[in-house]
Amino acid sequence: MYDKAIRMINFIKLAIIPIFILLLVPNVYASGPRLDYDERYEDVPGAPECWVDDYDAGFAQKYDEDRANECNRIPGDQYNASWQYGCIDSGLTKTDCNQIKEDPQDLGSHAQLQEENRRDCYDDGYEDGKNSNSFDDDRGSSCSEYGNAYEDGFSAGCQSVEGNTNDRCELTIEGHDVYCRDHPDDPACTEFLYDPSNKKTPSPYGLCAPGQQPYHPGCPQIVDPERYCLNNDDPSFCKTIGDICDVDGFVKPEDAYCTR
């Protein structure tokens, strides 16, 4: 009875925590900073457009004083409110951005800036991939405002190099810690997966914590025990599930992990 009560309390905690998070961050938009205009002005004609134009201009490292003055007359001054965000996200420092504002340009329509920024992100990624540079996580993150342009460009550039495969380029982009946990068949991951220091330590809390048997049907120990044991340091459970290289399991006998 006591164990059942504890499991129920843990379940309630897991259900309540996301609700508290949502209540604490009401102004955060899943779309990212480019569309994260101040919700107080979302119904003010022209205000959201000013925010987006400003972010695009800042990311393109350009400043349009005429557009800034036009938006300044709209409640919220969204152009000047978001320009700095876009400029910083482009990779410049605050000092660099302030210098750009001292040399404004007449951009006319801002509509072309979104595609210009997307193209710049793709080209940067392509050059990094082609030149066998490391994947720039910061550039990839900021460019996510324009789709997966940097990552797509990096993948294309990487695969343009003779001898590179899609898997090799995906490994370069994601890194061993992300890529290899889903690719026991890739020989490049074998040493990583065999290294005990790379295994995750399962959380001691919640319905799926080690030792909380019987496990909830949605726990990874039940859903995919082979994948769980491949990636987690849980000897008390993993020693009971048998051979990790099963014909019908996540890790196949012919995979590189099993033929090492």
* pLDDT at 242 (0 to 100): 62
* pLDDT at 125 (0 to 100): 98
Tokens 């495969």 map to which residue? 165
Residues 6+ apart with CB under 8 A from 157: 125, 126, 127, 128, 129, 130, 131
Tell me the mean pLDDT per 10 residues along the chain, length 260: 46 41 34 76 85 94 92 83 92 94 88 94 98 96 93 98 96 96 95 94 91 88 91 87 80 91
Question: How do residues 81-118 score in pLDDT, each as one tens digit?
Answer: 889 999 999 999 999 999 999 999 988 888 899 999 99
Tokens 């843990």 map to which residue? 10
DSSP for the chain, please give it: -HHHHHHHHHHHHHHHHHHHHHHH-TT--TT-GGG---GGGTTSTTHHHHHHHHHHHHHTT---HHHHHHHHTSTT-HHHHHHHHHHHHTT--HHHHHHHHTS------SHHHHHHHHHHHHHHHHHHHHTTPPP-HHHHHHTTEEEEHHHHHHHHHHHTSTT--HHHHHHHHH-HHHHGGG-TT-GGGHHHHH-GGGSB---SSSTTSTT-PSPPTTSHHHH-HHHHHHHB--HHHHTTS--SB-TTSSB-TTSTTT--
Within 10 Å of residue 73's Cβ, how many Cβ atoms? 8
Q: φ, ψ for residue 251 (rounded to 5)?
A: -100, 115
> Which of 64, 62, 66, 58 lies closest to 87, judged by CA?
58
* pLDDT at 83 (0 to 100): 92
- Compute the distance between CA of residue 79 and CA of residue 50 in angstroms, rounded to an integer: 5
Tokens 């990311």 map to which residue? 59
One-letter amino acid of 121: C
Residues 6+ apart with CB under 8 A from 35: 29, 51, 52
Give the bridge partners for 245, in sequence order. 251
pTM of the model as a whole: 0.77
* pLDDT at 31 (0 to 100): 53
* pLDDT at 35 (0 to 100): 78
Domain positions in the chain: 33-108, 112-174, 184-238
* pLDDT at 161 (0 to 100): 97
Radius of gyration for the chain, computed over Cα atoms and rounded to the nearest angstrom: 25
- Compute the distance between CA of residue 44 and CA of residue 42 in angstroms, rounded to an integer: 6
Structure-token pair, residue 242: 């048998």
- Compute the distance between CA of residue 157 and CA of residue 181 in angstroms, rounded to an integer: 25
